[in-house]
Chain A
Amino acid sequence: MLDITGLSHRYDDGHQAVDDIELSVEGGELVSIVGPSGCGKSTLLRCVAGLQRPSAGRITVGGRAVEGAVPPNLAVVFQDYTRSLFPWLTVRDNVALPLRRHGLGRAERRARAAKALAQVGLDGTGSRYPWQLSGGMQQRVALARALAYRPSLLLMDEPFGSVDAQTREDLEDLLLAVRGGPAGEGGPAGEGGPAGEGGTAKRPPGRMTILLVTHDIDESVYVGDRVVVLTGAPGRVHSDLRVDLPAPRDRVATRGLPEFVRLRAEVGRAVRRP
């Protein structure tokens, strides 16, 4: 689904953000990326999103090279929802706007937006403005916007870094709930063509592939199928750990499992060791 080979990026000011990153992500996987701050996590994400052309290396999404152009069927959730949501649009219009890319009519866009808002538990808020909602609700709007787009690859850049701890746990569970059916059932939504085309529109979409950048070690293990730890600047892949925790994850029970505790400690050690 996503293949990164030899990815390096050096900014114009000479700062080497990432260095020779190799990473392969299967369709339907949720991969957490952790690392010390300044390790180039966000640069990696921006390169995958086609927002930043890397100095070297190759990225393919669904077999297609990214090469500085935004891949189709990709959505990004940014950390700072106050900046990423458009304050001049209502919640509904914020969610519906990207759907113009799918060439959908106004009624269809609105229907999809309403459905996505219901998915994240925000029915009835469509006619409000983002700034009339709490922080956690705003980030759920941003998530709904990504869901409505039905991406095959969802990139999240510290998506829950700006909300309080309780809301953060709620949003982690919400993400796990909305990522789609279990792995192996169906493929990534709409791979190889516009999402929601033809008969697939009615069926629940297959599990999304998700790349989630976080600095929270606990979160990386709790939501991830895999945790990729990057070294400090310049970022390289330090370790790649499979998370074998039973689904569905439970915020209390899962965190009590010996395997969770072991993984969290291992990721913690990996992050702290340069």
Chain B
Amino acid sequence: MTGPARAGAGPGPEPRAPARALLRPGALVSRRWGRALLGALGAGGAVLVLELLARGGAVDDDALPPATSVLARAAGMAVDDGFLGHLGTTVSAWLGGLALAVALAVPAGLLLGSLPWLDRAGLAVVELARPVPSVALIPLAILVFAEPVRVERSLVCYAALWPILLNTLYGLRDVDPVAKETLRAFGFGAPAVLVRVSLPSAGPFVLTGVRIAASVGLIVAVSAELRAGGDSGLGVYLLQTQSGGGRPDLMVAGAVWAGALGTAANAVLVGAGRLAFPHSARAAAGRGG
């Protein structure tokens, strides 16, 4: 990103904009490394504290196993086919529901956002439906869909719809009228303006909506598995570790995996955003500094 900007700096007779000082790779990289180092220190510290609490006897070993043994269990589960089967079920229901939500919410947002009268009517429905917690709909979903995987996927989809829809709407509201008029003045019609200006301009907002939806969706996916049962899924695995006296180390290790899923999804979406919308990544870097 910043590479070509420096390499091609030759021909412009004008002085460079001061804003570009922020884009010097050196400055950005060292700041990023510094942040990563602090993050690693924080995570390591937390593990250390948990370890000391458990080993020192401050907390009952059965309630909170030492951090190192939990992490060892979690690492071991990476090669455990049984656990990976559970994990796969959750991931596929979660991502499936999320994809369905994107496919529904983005077009709906574009439609609502470009037709003002529909926007007003649609928002009323959104405001009514949005506060209903997805987990409150678990019994209904079980009744309607019966099959656990479908229950899970539909609930994830429901929960993920709202953040994506609302962010798409806000993103469209934020599109610069001058940018739209620029294209209109070149004779482009409303559909072309929507696709070529509104959509890319709202893109970073939509992506933020998807990021929020991903984390909400994971909560709902695991909750649905805990309640709806079925024979596979991270929630089902957690229920199984509960039976027969319980295995807190496996339980917490399962939770660690759930957390890792959420972190990975977030990292992938942030990275995708940087690639797809370099201008907004630049804005974010500017704010960070």
Q: Do A and B come from one complex?
A: yes
List the interface of chain A (C-beta within 8 A of B).
49-51, 70, 72, 74-76, 78, 80, 83-84, 86-89, 97-98, 101, 121-125, 127-129, 131-137, 149, 155, 167
Are A86 and B197 closer than 8 Å at their CB atoms?
yes
Of B179, B183, B196, B279, which contacts A131 at CB under 8 A?
Answer: B279
* A49 partner residues in chain B, CB cutoff 8 A: 185
Asked if residues A121 and B200 are in contact (CB atoms below 8 Å), the reply is no
Which residue in B5, B181, B187, B203 is a CB contact (below 8 Å) of A88? Answer: B203
Q: Name B's A-contacting residues (CB within 8 A).
A: 4-5, 8, 10-17, 19-20, 23, 176, 178-179, 181-188, 196-197, 200-201, 203, 277-279, 282
Q: A74-B187, A84-B178, A86-B200 are in contact. List 9 more A-B contacts (CB 8 A).
A: A51-B184, A51-B185, A87-B279, A88-B200, A127-B8, A128-B5, A132-B17, A133-B17, A149-B186
Q: Which residues of chain B come closer than 8 Å to A51, judged between CB atoms?
A: 181, 184-185
- Distance (Å) between the CB of A99 and the closest chain B CB? 9
A80 to B177 CA separation, bound complex (whole angstroms): 12
Contact of B11 among A50, A97, A125 (CB under 8 A): A125
The answer to whether B12 and A122 touch across the interface, beta carbons within 8 angstroms, is yes
Q: Which residue of A lies closest to B17 (CB)?
A: A134
Given the complex, which residues of B lie within 8 Å of A137, measured CB to CB?
Answer: 12, 14
Contact B185 A131 (CB under 8 A): no
Question: A52 vs B181: C-alpha distance in the bound complex, in angstroms?
Answer: 10
Known contacts A88-B200, A131-B279; is-contact A70 B185 (Cβ 8 Å): yes
Instruction: With both chains docked as a complex, state the minimum distance between the C-beta of A93 and any C-beta of chain B, in angstroms.
Output: 10
10 contacts between A and B (CB under 8 A): A75-B186, A88-B200, A97-B183, A101-B187, A121-B13, A122-B12, A124-B8, A127-B8, A131-B279, A149-B186
A125 engages B17 (CB within 8 Å): no
Docked CA distance A131–B201 (Å):
15
Most A-side CB within 10 Å, residue of B13, B179, B182, B183: B182
Partner pick for A129 among B10, B182, B183, B279, CB 8 A cutoff: B279
A47–chain B nearest beta-carbon distance, Å:
12
Which of B16, B185, B203 counts the most chain A CB atoms within 10 A? B185
Kindly list chain B residues whose C-beta atoms are within 8 Å of the C-beta of A121: 11, 13
Contact A124 B187 (CB under 8 A): no
A98 to B4: give the CA distance in the assembly, Å.
25
Residues of B within 8 A of A75 (CB): 185-186
Q: How far is the CA of A101 from the CA of B189 in the complex (A)?
A: 10
Report chain A residues within 8 Å CB of B196: 97
Are A131 and B19 in contact, with the CB atoms below 8 A?
A: yes
Complex Cα gap A131–B176 (Å)? 16
Q: Assess whether A136 is in contact with B279, with CB atoms less than 8 Å apart.
A: no
Contact of A76 among B8, B12, B182 (CB under 8 A): B182
Interchain CB contact (< 8 A) of A136 among B14, B19, B201:
B14
A122 touches B178 (CB 8 A): no
**B277 CB contact (under 8 Å) in A88, A101, A128, A136:** A88
Residue in B8, B187, B200 whose beta carbon sits within 8 Å of that of A70 in the complex: B187
Would you give the shortest CB distance from A246 to chain B, in whole angstroms? 27
Task: Report if A80-B184 is in contact (Cβ < 8 Å); known contacts: A124-B10, A124-B11.
Answer: no
Q: Which residue of chain B lies nearest to A83 when distances are taken between CB atoms in the complex?
A: B178
Which B residues are CB-close (under 8 A) to A83? 176, 178-179
Q: Measured between C-beta atoms, what is the minimum distance from B245 to chain A in Å?
A: 57
Contact assessment for A98 and B186 in the assembled complex, using a CB-CB cutoff below 8 Å: yes
User: In whole angstroms, what is the CA distance A51 to B180 when docked?
Assistant: 11
Flag if A129 contacts B278 (CB, 8 Å): yes
Which chain B residue lies CB-closest to A127?
B4
Chain A residues with Cβ below 8 Å from B23 are 132
CB neighbours of A89 from chain B (8 A) = 200
| Choice from B11, B16, B188, B197 contacting A134 with Cβ under 8 Å | B16
Q: A80-B178, A83-B179 are in contact. Are A167 and B185 (CB under 8 A)?
A: no
Residues of A within 8 A of B15 (CB): 134
State how many angstroms separate the Cβ of B227 from the closest Cβ of chain A: 43
User: Are A101 and B11 in touch, CB under 8 angstroms?
Assistant: no
**Are B12 and A133 in contact, with the CB atoms below 8 A?**
yes
**Least Cβ–Cβ distance between B58 and chain A, in angstroms:** 53
Residues in A with CB closer than 8 Å to B201 are 86, 88
* A38, chain B: closest CB distance, angstroms: 19
